[in-house]
Structure 1
Amino acid sequence: MEQFHHARHLGEHERAMFFIDQALQTPEYRPEALIWRGIEALQQQRLHHAFLFFGSAAQATPGRADVRALIGRSVLALQQPELATRLLACAWQQMPTEPSLRIMLWHARSQSLPPAKLRKLIFTHLPEIDDAAELALVLKLLAAQTDAPAEIGVARFDPQTREITGWAVNVKAPASVVTIEIESDTQRFASAADLPHPLLSKAGICEAHGGLRVLIVEPAQTLHVRFNDSTALIGSPFSNLPAFNPPSPKGQTSARQEPVDILVPVYDGYEETLECINSVLRNRSQNRTAHRVIVLDDATPNAELRNALRALAADGQIEHIQHATNLGFIRNVNRGMALHTERDVVWLNADTRVHGNWLDRLRAVAYRDKDIASVTPFTNNGELMSFPVSRVSHTMPTAQEQAELDQLALNVDAAAMEIETGCGFCLYLKRDAINEVGYLDEVHLLRGYGEETDWCLRARSLGWRHMGAPNVFVAHQGGISFGEEKTLRVAHNNAILKRRYPNASDRYQAFCLRDPIKPARQALQRARLSQLSAHLATTTVKKVPGPKTLHIQGPDVDAPLRLMWRHHGACTLATLHAKWAPLGLTLEYQLPKEADQLATDLSALGLEEVVYGQMAGCPSEILKLASRLNTPYRILCSDDELLVRSSEPEWAEFARHAKSISLPWQALLKRYAAALPSARLVIGKKTRATPARRRPPQTLLIADDLRDGEVADRWIDLARHMTRKNIPVVLLVNGDSPWLKSLTATGAVHALPEVQGLETTDCLSLAGCDAALSLDPEPGAGWQAPYLASTLGLPLYAITSAVAKEAGALPMNHLPFSLSRA
């Protein structure tokens, strides 16, 4: 790399490129070489190449914010601001304090968002902006909007010093001094933002004014800071409450300590809040654990809700704690936990529903060992404990479905497991842990997101553990969030957590890869499969959501019952998907070890038909399923095009012997045509010739299965030929392959980068890929190229084969270069 930089400084471009190409072949220099190749491509307006180089560099250096910003820059240059916004927002959430990412994201947002939404986002993020270049950019974007307010400012209040500080400017007339009005109880007085402010000065907005510092002699509980037109500065109004002083613990509690305080923080949402409270009250008699329902009313603006809570309190069913001003979730819950310092507590979101003896089951797990600090149940929406897919927010089931899932979880009674952190939608906390770990951080964390993670990580550092309770299902609506403000809060709090617990992220990722919760999810799903089997046995086809047909690796992703498979190391993972309310039914099998279990589970469903879709590389255990189940089968080349039926003699041996049989040429042609009806597939000159004026493809996706050594050798030969002849075509490989290193070493082949926030089709488009190519000389029943091209929406090119010549047809060879060897 030193020689490259030396040649670059001397202006010797060709020599510099020679050294950079050498560096690409050296593992230790490759990431930096990719970045410089991307910069060179960006400067020469070879934008698709720039995306490829920067994307590969980002995969090699995942912690480099500047590289992620460069990807965004290349995508913006390709005039794809929506995609740039998506990928940069994803990167920003992981590295929220990086100025290069933030600035590039604002550029992308300014081109992709409507003015009103962009303005709202800027106002949301302004309080956290401490980089002069970023502030200058966002204020410039606001000044360019005709309907944006001219006066903009950010204010803060420090209860200890009793000072209001911040800044305020007129973005359309930066030289003018802005006047503000401050309201404290009955006092109102004006002040001017006439002090120097370092951030405004560095941003080049105003040198000697814009800063704000006002001492409030006797501040009220709520303070307001407004412009002359009554518009509030960002951050106003302020809550002036005394700092939280945790009470002294009353000694160690025992496993029989009762009652438990169920804390329900409430702000708004009349129906969901009362449904949550009523679910606790309705199931009170089924729990032997004594408990009190304490509703923490955070100054709700909903008068109907406030009156309903007062009525429940007057009836003695709940304890109603009302705050005079809005505290936010963290302050609200802290004061709730401090009400009774001898009791365990349960945080219960106001949009949750509980069933049966839920509290007894959570408590039993909590007191299984002395070092357990918290317990989190299964739910449809709760991070690690989400069901059926972990870390995914699923739709909330109906009340009846919730009760059925909870009863099923109780019957399965899967063993509790240790998890990395609990989730605050429903979190049982032992008082002994609270006494040692302390309360939530209401000083540094923004309210509402990540506070339980901080508490759990703090507890773990002191030797406490956190458990998941899969024998309890608590429904959680979720989705009622702060929108973009949530993104801000998550990013802000995550940045703090990363500094406090530098190893936590690696532990969390390792936990997710290990996934010790999976056996419990699988056990509950298998119980649901039994329910589905019983339902299908007593229900006619017309009443179930689709026929009793199993689709195997087919293109119909909406099929009621699907079996998908993928190679995973030395084994194959087969996943059974069923549309079964209230939540999708998903079971995973490791083949060949669990082939018998797969066949047993499927036989219980009483299938009427098995439909094979894509069969490239299909494992024999799946090919044999139709025979093992004694079920009729067929093979499709698309959703509605039948290729062959099991009644045809030439396929009679297929299910019994699970052999890949080459299709007759005419059937193969039919397979081509049906696989890509909308992809401009041309099968030979006799069908339709390529228009003479059509630009030949410049970037091609390798559509073959590169685990086949013979086919891989053909690709390596072609790539070397292209490099020798300087053919300006890029070949892309999607996914890993044992031949990938040999292919990329030719210089003509690039691995399609996986960019977080983008789909594969997005990456293909940004890489300039406009076609797929197969070099398989004898494509047969397992040929994956048409299926892959169809899935990705690409036209397919194929070479002339011996089978095609015998049939008198010429498959596509309209390529920008000759496939014959020179």
Structure 2
Amino acid sequence: MDIFHRHRNAGEHELAASVLERATQIAEHRPEALIWKGIAALPRNPKLAFLFLVTAAQLLPERADVKALAGRALLAQGHAELATRYLTMAWQKLPGDATLRMLLWQARSQSETPAKLRSMILAHLPEINSPKELAQVLKLLTAQTGAAGTVGVVHYLEQQREVQGWAIDLGNPHAPVSLKIEAGSAKVDAVANIPHPLLSAAGLPTTHGGLRIRVPNPTAAVHIRFADNTPLLGSPVFAAPSFVPPPEHPSLGVQQHVDVLIPVYNGLHETLECINSALEARKLNRTPHRLVVIEDATPVPALAKALKMLAGKGKITLVNNAVNLGFIRTMNRAMALSPGRDVVWLNADTRVQGNWLDRLRNIALSSADIASVTPFTNNGELMSFPQSQVSHAMPNAREQAALDELAKHANISPVEIETGCGFCLYIKRAALNQVGYLDEVHLARGYGEETDWCLRARSFGWRHMGAPNVFVAHQGGISFGAEKTLRVAQNNAILRRRYPDASVRYNAFCLRDPIKAARGALQRARLARFAQQSDERKASQWPMEASHSLHIHDGTGADSILSLVWHRDSHRTWVTLKAPLAPLPLELDYEMPGEFSELVKNLAALPLKDIVLEHQVQCPSKLCDLPSLLNIPYTIVYRDGHLQGLDATYDWQRFANQAESVVLPWQSWHSAFAEAFPQANLVIQPCAELPTPATSQPNILLIGDALDDPEIIQTWVRLGRRITRERLPLTLLVKQDTPWLKTLSATGAVQALPQVNGFSLPEIAKATGCDAVVSLAPSPGEKWQAPELASEYDLPLYTRCHSLGTEARANCVTQLPFSLSQA
């Protein structure tokens, strides 16, 4: 790279480019070389620039500047929404980088509606302490037509016993704004007329804008408003001392009473549904408990009124915060209400069923070193079901009751987990006394506080358990709104500094996935229930379909069908049974061949009317025995090439001839298959249409051939060398899972297609400027994947294959671009 910089600084651009190309082939220089290739391409070809820069960013995950450049490449293409998504994920990993933050605001200003942009700015404004960032967001606010002209921020400094902040009129920043201050019965008019260093550094007047309010005595609520009664951000201010944990309560042996703590801020219907579910379940639980609802200065009058009525009837214990304290400060004070009791955090957007509390408490008391217990849920990090770490749709009350009942009787053992999740978290008082309360000083307002507490508890030797025999529904996303990305980024950065080895432990836990067996047990219970319901429908002549087709494929089939999906990696083969149950899909894994008999047994319990076998290449041959073992008819849907490509020892002719039908994609294949399988009932199914290629010359192309044929590989290598030698305006992309990536990349014309978290495949193609899929195969072979790849990425397909028939060429194939036709 030193040689490259010497040539670049000397203005020797041809030599610099040549050296840079060679540097991309050297592992230690490749990341920096990609950065410089991206920088060079950014002004003239931002699509190609993004391809280079996002690859470099993946190789250098801690380089915020590289991520920012990749974001700029997306903005230069006009992909503001993609840029916002990419930069948000980058900023959450590296929240301290000012360049990322400012570029993210630029992207948001182009992708968000004015109302949402203003909401985001106001949510982040109290945390902004960079003059450049403040100047940028205030400029964005000023540019909005019809928006309020005044804006300000206040906060309480306990040591100084002062409320400090700033306030300005965006329409007239040179005049100090008038304020109204109210604390209890005292009301004072004031003016923001003192200098404020942040405003001055942001380019605003240096003579005014700041404010300082002395608060000599603890005050629950200090209101600071503009002249039109609009509150400043942070008002009303809780001007009181920091939380001090209560003294440890004398031990009375085994805890008998529990406080179920429900913090409430927004969401009228969700909150009342949560409270009502807990009230209905109360009579089913033997554990004495009270429902403590903490109303955190809700902005919803109807919610405040409903809570007051429930408290008046003695159904809940109601605590009202004078001002909005946020989750952490609210829960600290709630957990201190009864120093001798265990506590359960229960989000206001959850719903409980049956004797949920008894089951959680039994696990908590099963061992002296258990600190917390988290139930199964549809949305709860590690304990999410049916997939861990995935937010699934919330089941309705009937569906949740059925899931909880199945979990209760499925005989699933508790499992130790890395950290609990705060949507529903049982915490033992003994652990709370030793570990301490939540950190309300550094973890601003909320998010990640339970992770911090659980990791702190681990350092004292405590353990955290998952309770797969309890299912608590959780909606999620009600509390934070526009603040969430801010809280996630800031608090996760603190946790990474505080517990540097925690992420390694967490990733190792996820890789082992000890909760998988529990998820599988619940899924098997669901499968048995699914089969029973289907039989009941059939017996009672239920109007809904009682029997199903089972589709066997490689994962490319529709999610809305009952299917059996096979998977292979270097160590094992397994299949996944999927049923589109709403709202949580049924998914069950079976190791092959060890659990094949169990698979057959489970399938035999289902009311299957037939089997549809799709995408035969690499399909485990034992799956082709299922029709005979289950004694049901089957259809072969053919898309991939020769049926013999799966297993040379398998009698494919007999298998195809005994099928109800063999579905072919193109009429031109009919005669060849009729000759190979004389007794098969062949049915022609038109090929799915693909996007029409653009009339202009494509520049970035995705290789559509399966790179397992030496002749095809050499064809692509020759083409790559030709593109580099003749400086053709073409870039070839190849999927990263090919073992020939290094060989192809050495041509200088081939790049790996990046995988970008949070981006769909068509979005990746769009961001990298991929114009089309290209196949150089002379005829469709057994693993010809080009049509499916083009459909998957929503791209047109170019090929020189002429043996596909009229339907294929008309529906999804065009001739090669001129520069590839002689490859």
TM-score (norm 1): 0.89
User: For the Cα contact (< 8 Å) 1:615–1:784, is it kept in 2?
Assistant: no
Show the counterpart of 2:351. 353
Does the 8 A contact of 1:91 with 1:756 survive in 2?
no
Judging changes above 3 Å, is the alpha-carbon distance between structure 1 residues 542 and 55 closer, same or farther for their aligned structure 2 residues? farther
Report how far residue 201 of structure 1 moved: 2.9
Which residue in the other structure is 2:757 paired with? 756
CA distance in 1, matches of 2:314, 2:7: 83
Matches within 5 A, 1:292-331: 292-300=290-298, 309=307, 312-313=310-311, 316-331=314-329
2:132 aligns to what? 133
- 2: CA distance between counterparts of 1:379 and 1:545? 29
Aligned to 1:411: 409
Partner of 1:79: 78
- Relative to structure 1, the CA distance from residue 672 to residue 96 in structure 2 (aligned partners, 3 Å threshold; closer, same or farther) is farther
Displacement of 1:53 in angstroms is: 0.2
Q: Give, as a single letter, the amino acid of the residue that structure 2 aligns with 1:129.
A: I
Q: C-alpha displacement at 1:166, in angstroms?
A: 1.8
Provide the rounded CA distance (Å) in 2 between the counterparts of 1:524 and 1:226.
54
Distance of aligned partners of 1:700 and 1:310 in 2 relative to their CA distance in 1, 3 Å threshold = closer
Give the aligned partner of residue 550 of structure 1: 550
Q: Distance in 1 between matches of 2:813 and 2:78?
A: 35
- One-letter amino acid matched to 1:739: W
Shift of 1:107: 1.0
Q: Which amino acid aligns with 1:5?
A: H
Give the corresponding residue for 2:656.
654
CA distance in 1, matches of 2:657, 2:570: 26
Q: Which residue in the other structure is 1:2 paired with?
A: 2
Question: Matched residues in 1 for 2:255 and 2:398: separation?
Answer: 33
Letter in 2 for 1:347: W
Secondary structure at the counterpart of residue 763 of structure 2? helix
Instruction: Flag the 1:326–1:801 CA change in 2: closer, same or farther, 3 A.
Output: closer
How far apart are 1:182 and its partner, in Å?
2.2
Q: Does the Cα contact within 8 Å between 2:796 and 2:813 map onto a contact in 1? A: no
The aligned residue for residue 537 of structure 1 is 535
Question: What residue in structure 1 maps to residue 190 of structure 2?
Answer: 191
AA in 2 matched with 1:31: P
Cα 1:134–1:327 shift into 2, 3 Å: closer
Q: How far 1:270 moved relative to its partner?
A: 4.7
Stretch moving more, 729-738 or 558-567: 558-567
Write out per-residue CA displacement over residues 239-258 of structure 1, whole angstroms, 9 at most, x where no aligned residue.
2233221111135564x321
Alpha-carbon separation, structure 2, partners of 1:650 and 1:562: 22
Q: Residues 116 and 179 (structure 1 numbering): CA distance in 2 closer, same or farther, change over 3 Å?
A: same
Q: Deviations over 1:658-693 (max 9, x none)?
A: xx9999971379999933424238xxxxxxxxxxx9
Amino acid of the residue matched to residue 674 of structure 1?
P
CA shift for structure 1 position 764? 0.8
Tell me how many residue pairs correspond in the alignment.
795
Gaps of 5+ in 2: 640-650, 672-681
**How far apart, CA to CA, are the structure 1 residues paired with 2:324 and 2:144?**
33
What residue is the counterpart of 2:50 in the other structure?
51
Give the corresponding residue for 2:643: none
Give 1:81 deviation, angstroms: 0.9
CA contact (8 A) 2:25 2:745 kept: no
Distance 1:162 1:811 in 2: 74
Structure 1 residues 656 and 619: CA distance shift in structure 2, 3 A: farther
Instruction: Tell me the equivalent position of 1:591.
Output: 592
The gaps in structure 1 that reach 5 residues or longer are 639-648, 682-692
Amino acid paired to 1:370: A
Structure 1 residues 653 and 736: CA distance shift in structure 2, 3 A: same
Measured after TM superposition, the shift of residue 777 of structure 1 is 3.6
1:675 paired residue number: 687
- What's 1:729 paired with? 730
Match of 1:816 in 2: 818
C-alpha distance 650-219 of structure 1, shift in aligned 2 (>3 A): closer
Hey, what does 1:633 align to over in structure 2? Answer: 634
Q: Give a deviation string over 1:270-318, Cα, whole Å, max 9, x none.
A: 5444443343343334333333333334345666655655555555544
Q: Which whole-Å deviations, capped at 9, do the CAs of 1:740-797 have from their partners, x for residues lacking one? A: 1111121111111112232221111222212111233442454322122122222222
- Whether 2:509 is the aligned partner of 1:508: answer no
Q: Deviations for 1:211-257, whole angstroms, at most 9, x for unmatched residues?
A: 33332345642112222332222221212233221111135564x32
Structure 1 CA distance for aligned equivalents of residues 633 and 30 of structure 2: 53
**What is the identity, as a one-letter code, of the residue corresponding to 2:668?**
Q
8 A Cα contact 2:68 2:100, kept in partner: yes
Q: Deviations over 1:190-229 (max 9, x none)?
A: 4333433332333223344333333234564211222233
TM-score, with structure 2 as normaliser: 0.89
What is the alpha-carbon distance in structure 1 between the residues aligned to residue 117 and residue 339 of structure 2?
46
Aligned to 1:476: 474
Letter in 2 for 1:182: I
1:563-591 alpha-carbon deviations (Å, 9 max, x no partner)? 33343333344322212245211112333
Partner deviation per Cα, 1:418-472 (whole Å, 9 max, x = no partner): 1111111211111110011111122222334222112111111222111101011
Distance 1:144 1:582 in 2: 43
Letter in 2 for 1:579: P
The equivalent of 1:120 in structure 2 is 119
1:96 Cα offset (Å): 2.2
1:556 CA displacement: 5.3
**Paired residue type of 1:737:** T
What's 1:614 paired with?
A: 615
**1:23 counterpart residue number:** 23
Q: How does 1:692-731 map to 2 (within 5 A)?
A: 694-731=695-732
- Paired with 1:74 and 1:545, the residues of 2 have a C-alpha distance of 51
Displacement of 1:812: 4.7
- 2:241 alignment counterpart: 242
Match of 1:41 in 2: 41
Inter-partner Cα distance in structure 1 for 2:749 and 2:557: 35
Q: CA RMSD in A?
A: 3.2
d(CA) in 2 for partners of 1:621, 1:732: 35
With over 3 angstroms needed to count, the CA separation of the structure-2 counterparts of 1:802 and 1:425, relative to structure 1, is closer
For the 8 Å contact 1:702–1:774, the answer to whether it is kept is yes
Instruction: Classify 1:292/1:117 alpha carbon distance in 2 versus 1 (closer, same or farther; 3 Å).
Output: closer
How far has the Cα of 1:632 moved from its partner? 2.1
Find the counterpart in structure 2 of residue 690 from structure 1.
none
Distance 1:753 1:443, change over 3 A: same
* Rounded Cα–Cα distance in structure 2 between residues aligned with 1:138 and 1:49: 30
What is the aligned partner in structure 2 of residue 154 from structure 1? Answer: 153
Find the aligned partners of 1:131 and 1:184 in 2 and give their Cα distance.
31
Q: Measure, in 2, the Cα distance between the counterparts of 1:341 and 1:453.
A: 22
Q: Distance in 1 between matches of 2:803 and 2:344?
A: 71
Give, as a single letter, the amino acid of the residue that structure 2 aligns with 1:607. L
Cα separation, 2, equivalents of 1:159 and 1:775: 71
State the percentage of identical aligned residues.
52
Counterparts of 1:32 and 1:137, CA distance in 2: 30
In structure 2, what is the equivalent of residue 431 of structure 1? 429
**1-structure distance, mates of 2:288, 2:542:** 48
2:668 matched to 1:666? yes
- Partner letter of residue 68 of structure 2? A
In the alignment, the residues of structure 2 paired with residue 156 and residue 176 of structure 1 have an alpha-carbon distance, to the nearest angstrom, of 23
Deviation at 1:631, TM superposition (A): 2.8
The CA deviation at 1:655 is: 8.2
Q: Please say if 1:741 is aligned against 2:739.
A: no
Any idea what SS the aligned residue of 2:608 has?
Answer: coil
Deviation, 1:533, is: 1.3
Structure 2 Cα separation of the partners of residues 470 and 512 of structure 1? 16
Q: CA deviation at 1:75?
A: 0.6
- Change in CA separation of 1:668 and 1:704 when aligned onto 2, cut-off 3 Å: farther
Q: What residue is the counterpart of 1:642 in the other structure?
A: none
- Are residues 293 and 185 of structure 1, via their aligned partners in 2, closer, same or farther at CA, if it must alter by over 3 Å? closer
Kept after mapping to 2: 8 A contact 1:798/1:811: yes
3-state SS of paired residue (2:442): coil
Work out the CA distance in 1 between the residues paired with 2:637 and 2:347: 48
The verdict on how the C-alpha distance between 1:791 and 1:370 changes in structure 2, with shifts beyond 3 A counting, is same
Separation of aligned partners in 2, 1:804 and 1:315: 77
Give the match's secondary structure for 1:8: helix
> What is the Cα deviation at residue 528 of structure 1?
0.6
Quote how far apart the aligned CAs of 1:33 are.
Answer: 0.9
After superposition, the Cα gap between the structure-2 partners of 1:542 and 1:80, relative to the gap in structure 1 and judged at 3 Å, is: farther
Match for residue 95 of structure 2?
Answer: 96
* Residues 173 and 671 of structure 1, relative CA distance in 2, 3 Å threshold: farther
